[in-house]
Amino acid sequence: MQVQRHPPEVETLVAALRLIARVGLPVDPGLDDDRLLGLRGVVARSIDPAIRIDRVKALNDLLVRQLDYFQDDVLADAARIVYGVASGTRHTSLTLRRAKAADVLGYDVDHFRKAVEPKIHRQMAWQLNQDSQNYTPRGREMPVRGEPSGDTPIVSAGDVASLDKALHEEALSRLWAHVYALRAEIIKVERLKKWPRDPTEPEASAAYLAQAVANRDGEIAIIQRLIAEYIDAYGEAITHGDSEYNVHALMRLAGWDGHARH
């Protein structure tokens, strides 16, 4: 399936979003629109980006999140109504949703349809464009699905504003540290298989590889423990910069598919 190197133009996304709004959320499972399913922010959030329905789910989650944090306070409630996520609007017709949204803003329906609804779609399109700019496409031999572009690991005042916040940020950082440690161990194991430490000493090289495999498996055990502890304390959403993932997918982000290759 297509993965976009650059986010589409805003107007291209507006056209795609108009089709989504006709039915409303949740996204139709049959959707096959590369303008949306090819967004890097959708691909990064997919459990398996090669499976279309996984991208559809990721797109639906992303759209709901963008509506939850709609960047226009005046139009936010109307936007959630138009896309069918506001209470009482799911599975209703677009005509009814427009009428309800127009009433919330104090407009007649015709003015809302012509002048206000396009602003809502354009704002949503811009937010999707911004979201996809947080991701850097990869073109490597061993791709890392959903790896986000890097964020400087600064510590802000907000990170230690309270004990609960500090404990959460500490757990978050420690978990991501082990995700990258696992990725390093996976790469090391694959490297040693292809290029032994010392081709002239096969037994020593085999022992070195075995130790690397043990280190990799040790990191897997650590992450599994940290994931269980994190879910118990904070739930299943984990952030990295402006991006959000399901905590269960962390090992896939590191490049581990659950199957040993040795």
List the single range of 90-94, 162-166, 195-199, 255-259 with lowest mean pLDDT: 255-259
Please state the rounded mean pLDDT for residues 114-120. 98
Tokens linked to 262: 């040795």
- Mean pLDDT, all residues of the chain: 85
pLDDT at 151 over 50: no
pLDDT at 120 over 50: yes
Please state the rounded mean pLDDT for residues 233-240. 75
pTM of the entire structure? Answer: 0.55
Please state the rounded mean pLDDT for residues 207-211. 93
pLDDT bin (cut points 50, 70, 90) of residue 117 is very high
- What pLDDT digit, counting tens, does each position of 128-142 carry? 998 888 765 444 333
- What pLDDT digit, counting tens, does each position of 28-42 carry? 999 999 999 999 889
Q: Over pLDDT 90: what percentage of the chain?
A: 50
pLDDT bin (cut points 50, 70, 90) of residue 262 is very low
Domain boundaries, the chain: 10-132, 157-254
Strand segments (E) across the chain: 237-240, 243-246
Please state the rounded mean pLDDT for residues 172-195. 90
pLDDT bin (cut points 50, 70, 90) of residue 252 is confident
Which residues, including other chains, have CB under 8 Å from residue 15's CB and lie 6 or more apart?
35
Phi and psi at residue 54, to the nearest 5°: -65, -35
CA nearest to 137, candidates 65, 248, 41 = 41
Which residues, including other chains, have CB under 8 Å from residue 175's CB and lie 6 or more apart?
223, 226, 227, 230, 238, 247, 250
Tokens linked to 219: 């990191």
pLDDT at 241: 57
pLDDT at 144 over 50: no
pLDDT at 138: 44
pLDDT at 236: 75
Q: Over pLDDT 70: what percentage of the chain?
A: 83
What is the CATH architecture of 157-254? Answer: Up-down Bundle (1.20)
If you search the block for the tokens 């609960």, which residue do you land on? 164
